[in-house]
A and B are shown apart, each in its own frame.
Chain A
Amino acid sequence: MNKFREGGWHILLLLICLVLLLPVVFMISNSFKTLQDSYHSMLQIIPLHPTFSNYTTLGRQIDLLRLIWNTFFMAAIVTLGKLITGLFAAYAFKYFSFKGKKWIYLIFVSTIFVPFTVIMIPNYLVISKINLLNTAPGVALPQMCDATGIMLFLKAMDKIPKSLIESLKIDGISSHMILKDIIIPILRPSIISIGAIFFINSWNEYVWPTLILKDKSSFTLPLALQNYISSEGGTNFPLAMALSTIMIIVPLFIYLIFQRYILNSISNSGLK
């Protein structure tokens, strides 16, 4: 009886898997179809007449390498910036004692979910005033304003015995050395997975690029893809799907390698 019921639940769960993944499968498959095939045999997963033509058309219409580089460069700045600031701040919160610690931490962490509309106008004005519109640093800076790293690193530091750090401090070893030679090597898996999450989020970021990047040569992949989607209909879907397929390779690849660590860090972000 119980076995029977468990089977029923599995059917539901497998259906959810299909609903979540089939769109992506069709996207990849249709990106290798001609426009005509994508209409007449849209549900055919293996293309009847596989073709690279959508990819070559994209290559002629837009500067793919430049788009990929822009996106990568922006995401790399954001990731490095957030990792470095987050590690230092987490270290201070974990191993230094100072006045008002709890309050400062509370303020830092509360900023995580501040809606972007509350800060977008002043940030746009600042970025334009310091002449960083249409640049990677200009679109990266507002994204670095995120204290998630502190929260995740603090959680990761829980597994390092506090007594170890205390005894190193008593032996007169400097905080820089402890951070460089003890904390960072021990936290390597966490740093990689947190970095991977930051990178993927920034790779997909839409809001700040829309506001800061107006010049086509500074576009990132999500903005380029948006240009292929027409709200009045008439989107060339195989073309848009080819660009999307290019876009998802990087996050998918990162997930394939670091899947276990990434899921662990995501879990930690919700734990107390």
Chain B
Amino acid sequence: MNSSGSKNKFLTIAYLSPTAVILLVFMVIPILYTLYLSFFDWNLISPTKNFVGLENYTSIFTDSVNRKVLLNTIVYILLLLILNFIIPYFISLIVKFFINKMKNSYKIIFFIPSLFSLVVGAMLFSWIMNPISGPVAFLMRHFGVALPNWTNSSAMAIVMLCLITNWKVFGYNFVLLLTGLGSIPQNIIDATKIDSIPRWKMVRDIVLPLNKSIAFYVLILTIVQGLQYVFTPISVITQGGPYYGSSNIFYHTYLNAFVLYKTGNASALAVITFLVFLILLYLEMKFVEGRMGNCE
């Protein structure tokens, strides 16, 4: 018995260690090292790092460019929540409860853009919305209206960049939310039909509360993943411009680290991002109880 117990222990370690080693080397140690770097002034190359204490952090909140980027990040979050969470949620409710035919076809078709690279998405939108040679500008010219050059306006650029990620993740989030709706017990829904409760009322009073947990999961996903997804079109189309107007905290971290070589500033921004991530993770685990524990 004892020997099989120690053999089991050995096997457990052997089976878990490939994942554990990769996570340790490429995730846990990097997180700690980023924290360490955030207290130094460094340029990624020089052999010496200067300890500067909390200076990198204070500069985040005093520097006007950093403040602009943080503000943009909040605008991005709000827009992404509307485009990538509320709209797919609304559509998934319609497909689940308000139509009978073609449910599966919509699922299959909506998912298709999720298969494609965001670089393809960025290219397509820069064509569609091209103020000179794009189809939207072409159609608008017929009505005598000119499409403004949206890369010159930070507000329009942010909207366009969000739309690109929306094109990609709409179907993915739709599938997740639709699955969540599918796990609501059918007898509850049938009961409301017998009592002839209007369907929108059934959705509001029964479906939305029951589907809270998966909806919250997609909401967190929308924020954390959405901001990372938007990195690609920013990098391909605007590079954060005009004058940091379409940059967000992710792109600004990258810019500081690999373009401006301000490793300390980049690390401090990354640590702030990580703290926000931890808060969201905590909320998710509290809200979505049980999701994390399916190994039992």
Is B106 a contact partner of A145 (Cβ separation < 8 A)? no
Take A27-B124, A122-B34 as given contacts and tell me if A96 and B274 are in contact as well, using a CB distance cutoff of 8 Å.
Answer: no
Is B250 a contact partner of A115 (Cβ separation < 8 A)? yes
Is A121 a contact partner of B16 (Cβ separation < 8 A)? no
Shortest beta-carbon distance, A190 to chain B, in Å?
Answer: 15
Interface size class of B (residues with CB under 8 A): 35 or more
Shortest beta-carbon distance, A15 to chain B, in Å?
Answer: 11
Q: Does A39 contact B (CB under 8 A)?
A: yes
Interface residues of B in 91-129 (CB under 8 A from A): 91, 94-95, 98-102, 106-113, 115-120, 122-128
Q: Does A4 contact B (CB under 8 A)?
A: no
Which of A10, A114, A255, A263 is close to B107, meaning CB atoms less than 8 Å apart? A263
Q: How far is the CA of A122 from the CA of B288 in the complex (A)?
A: 32
Is B30 a contact partner of A123 (Cβ separation < 8 A)? yes
Q: Does B11 contact A (CB under 8 A)?
A: yes
Q: How far is the CA of A21 from the CA of B168 in the complex (A)?
A: 11
Residues of A near B101 (CB, < 8 A) are 6, 10
Main secondary structure of the interface of B (DSSP, over half): helix
Which of A43, A125, A255 is close to B112, meaning CB atoms less than 8 Å apart? A255
Which of B125, B232, B249, B281 is close to A110, meaning CB atoms less than 8 Å apart? B281
Is A147 a contact partner of B23 (Cβ separation < 8 A)? yes
Q: Which 9 pairs between the two chains have the least Cβ-Cβ distance?
A: A122-B30, A204-B117, A267-B179, A270-B176, A92-B15, A119-B30, A251-B115, A93-B295, A145-B26
Q: List 26 A-B contacts (CB under 8 A).
A: A9-B94, A9-B99, A10-B102, A13-B94, A23-B125, A42-B133, A85-B18, A89-B15, A96-B8, A106-B293, A117-B249, A118-B34, A118-B273, A121-B33, A121-B267, A122-B37, A125-B44, A144-B22, A151-B294, A225-B117, A237-B123, A244-B123, A247-B116, A248-B120, A255-B112, A271-B180
A contact set with B: CB distance below 8 Å: 5-6, 9-10, 12-13, 16-17, 20-21, 23-24, 26-27, 39, 42-43, 81, 84-86, 88-89, 91-94, 96, 98, 101-102, 104-106, 108-111, 113-126, 141-142, 144-145, 147, 150-151, 154-155, 158, 175, 200, 203-204, 206-207, 210-211, 221-222, 225-226, 228-229, 231, 233, 235, 237, 240-241, 244, 247-248, 251-252, 254-255, 259, 263, 266-267, 269-272
